[in-house]
Structure 1
Amino acid sequence: MSQFYVDPNIAKASTISTDVYTSKAIFEAAKEKIFASSWQFIGSREIVKFNGDVQPFTLLENYMNEPLMLTKDTAGEVHCLSNVCTHRGNLISYKQCSKATNLRCKYHGRLFELSGKFISMPEFKEVENFPCEADNLPVLPLFNWGNLLFTSLHKKDEAPIYLSEMMERLHWLPLDEFVYRGDLSKTFDIDASWALYCENYLEGFHIPFVHASLNSALSFGDYTTELYAKASLQLGVSKDAANCFDLPKTSIDYGTNVAAYYFWVYPNMMFNFYPWGLSVNIVSPVAVNKTKVEFLTFMWKEEKYDKGAGSDLDKVEMEDEEIVHSVQKGIVSRFYQHGRYSVTRETGTHHFHRLLAESLNH
């Protein structure tokens, strides 16, 4: 049997090896085996709103540390490109800029189109077989849903494998109307493994024990989890009709008092939809027992903000952090190796562990 095995039968299964949370070798291996082939959220189309806009960014900073940039060319097409010059590896774009007509490396003047295509290079007339395809900037795949943008470093599967169920379930939501609010967005530093943080998110089992205010807003008996190929949904149903979505008849959930849609997308993204808008949580590994979590706020209906299941998010986060910190201390115990799953309440965590095992065993 491989090092990582989780029985597909949840009633028989034990949790994944604690090496996932404690091993530096596994932490490093996850860069290529898990994160490089997955799709990652990179922000809103508002980042490059106008033709000629260029926005450099680092994908999963402090872990993958991949320098990338978004550009919008003169035809209005958005591109996701490597931000590393194909000559000597210098960063091309150092900071956000607008009204650009091309990309020029400040080191030796190599010039590229905003699409990443090589244009020219000084003092290279004598170089043979030049230019070639390798002189263009690498172009990454780009997928957008409404205003939301996603990319993948080494695309293994198409984006819909990860996102289609969420998109179909919420087909009625006008995502183009959701506006990023930096003033309401926050970053939290967690003293625990990224995987522990994710698996805590993936079950509502702990809500009555950890989140008193959230538990008062949700009907625990109606809390359900749905599993997909590379994602899952926890449906938060309210105890009454207050602070719920006004669902159209075209919604599969029409007639249900939905207070929140909690979508998780493998391996590290959470899309929490509330009647007021969306909170995107990006879980970024930093070290074996260090994690950065970004809470990115996209406002839709501000008059509904901070009500119902979508209220007191900072308080809920602090409660989760306390538990996850405690678990990180516990899983290094010589007396703990594996636990078992609640068949009715921990299907999301079991699903996550199965996906982790599949990735790490390849």
Structure 2
Amino acid sequence: MQQPTPDPDLASRELTCAFALPASFYVGTAADERDRRQIFARSWQLVAHATDVAQPGDHVVADLAGVPLLIVSGDDGTLRALHNVCRHRAGPLALCAGRRAKRFRCRYHGWTYALDGQLSSAPEMDDAEHFAVADIRLPEARVAQWQGLVFAALDDSPPFAHLVDGIDARIGPGRLDGYVLQQRVAYDIDCDWKVYVDNYLEGYHVPHIHPELNRMLDYRSYRTELSRWHSLQWSPLESAEELYGNGDALYYWLWPNTMLNILPGRLQTNRVLPRGPGRCRVEFDFHYPADIDDAARRAHDAAFSDLVQKEDVDICERVQRGLASGSYVAGRLNPLRESGVHHFHELLRSAYRVHR
């Protein structure tokens, strides 16, 4: 059998001679489908905070590469990621998050499942031959809980421990466990999800796009550290006491689309979710220590974050238009400032090569 011709755009390159991904990987239906199949079906996704599923019956709903999931804490204390798809005719079991459910009943025909995914009743099925309620249960995805956060994955993904390897040693085991969710904000953006991730992964643009943030960070000391499945950008931080105070700004990116922004007294998580060709949604969850109630500081944090995000949204949408224009030819990456982008692109290239 003739082997496919290697795609030169997917060839691995050293950072010092690296080019960005070409525009074709950011534009159109084929790029969107490729990412769903090769990236999101084979990676861990942030789906909840541990407090969302703390008690038996507490649950949230999620979607992984088109597979609806129901993340639920069972009566036995086990956290599960059940497929939110009834085994009868594919109806949904839950439409939204909830607390203390005793069971899940399909919204379509009333088939009912226990919290562990076992079918417990199927109305009016007595006449069906060779049918036994005990033989039917919901499939499960993989689930992991770490630093107060809950992740889920389908089968083809690396072990979760590999994704976060080394982070506990840097920030401290369980450092974020005591944080609680206080606010969620979302932005719908007219750009491919990878454009947003590219932008996140470098501080090269900070002096040009974020004047207020640039005054807080030390651009000369800004560093990027790379691991197999994540990267860290960090800088000393100096800000007003009513905002963050002084300390380190730690910006973690976890393959492929999760960000952990750790500043003094605050954790902000970002989920970058594809929403079709050339579109994405970014969800920001703001977490603060449970033993500190400072509404004024949270308000300052939300306002400053919104300022920065609107600056990012504007430039990302403009970049997407440039990528879609037909004018752009993949450019060289800056070895000093864009090692995080190169790392991301190499992971993407590796995933795409497997597909080919």
* TM-score, with structure 1 as normaliser: 0.86
Q: What's the counterpart of residue 327 of structure 1? A: 319
Q: Select between 236-245 and 7-16 the one with higher mean Cα deviation.
A: 236-245
Q: Deviations over 1:174-218 (max 9, x none)?
A: 322100013xx2111111111111001100011111111111111
Determine if the alignment matches structure 1 residue 339 to structure 2 residue 338.
no
Q: Select between 258-267 and 301-310 the one with higher mean Cα deviation.
A: 301-310
**Helix, strand or coil: the match of 1:188?**
strand
Equivalents in 2 of 1:168, 1:244: separation in Å?
27
Determine if the alignment matches structure 1 residue 163 to structure 2 residue 164.
yes
**Number of matched pairs:** 345
Q: Select between 267-276 and 114-123 the one with higher mean Cα deviation.
A: 114-123
Equivalents in 2 of 1:34, 1:262: separation in Å?
22
Q: What's the counterpart of residue 143 of structure 2? A: 142
Residue 343 of structure 1 aligns with an amino acid whose one-letter code is: P
Q: Deviations over 1:320-361 (max 9, x none)?
A: 112112211222343321100111111000111111111112
**Helix, strand or coil: the match of 2:349?**
helix
Preserved CA contact (<8 Å) 2:22 2:329 = yes
What is the CA distance between 1:11 and its match in structure 2?
1.2
* TM-score, with structure 2 as normaliser: 0.87
Equivalents in 1 of 2:168, 2:222: separation in Å?
21
Change (3 A) 1:107 1:307: closer
Q: How does 1:226-265 map to 2 (within 5 A)?
A: 226-238=225-237, 258-265=247-254
Determine if the alignment matches structure 1 residue 45 to structure 2 residue 50.
yes
Preserved CA contact (<8 Å) 2:60 2:98 = no
Residue 224 of structure 2 aligns with an amino acid whose one-letter code is: T
Q: Following TM superposition, where does structure 1 have runs of at least 4 consecutive aligned residues deviating by more than 6 angstroms? A: 240-246, 307-311
What is the CA distance between 1:309 and its match in structure 2?
9.4
Q: How does 1:96-111 map to 2 (within 5 A)?
A: 96-111=97-112
Q: What's the counterpart of residue 129 of structure 2? A: 127
What is the CA distance between 1:66 and its match in structure 2?
3.1
Equivalents in 2 of 1:307, 1:282: separation in Å?
21
Q: Which runs of 5+ in 2 are unaligned?
A: 1-5
Residue 201 of structure 1 aligns with an amino acid whose one-letter code is: Y
Q: What's the counterpart of residue 33 of structure 1? A: 38
**Helix, strand or coil: the match of 1:361?**
helix
Change (3 A) 1:233 1:244: farther
Q: What's the counterpart of residue 356 of structure 1? A: 348
Change (3 A) 1:10 1:280: same
Preserved CA contact (<8 Å) 1:242 1:308 = no
Identity %: 30
Q: What's the counterpart of residue 249 of structure 1? A: none
Q: Select between 144-153 and 299-308 the one with higher mean Cα deviation.
A: 299-308
What is the CA distance between 1:286 and its match in structure 2?
0.9
**Helix, strand or coil: the match of 2:145?**
strand
Equivalents in 2 of 1:43, 1:334: separation in Å?
39
Preserved CA contact (<8 Å) 1:227 1:351 = yes
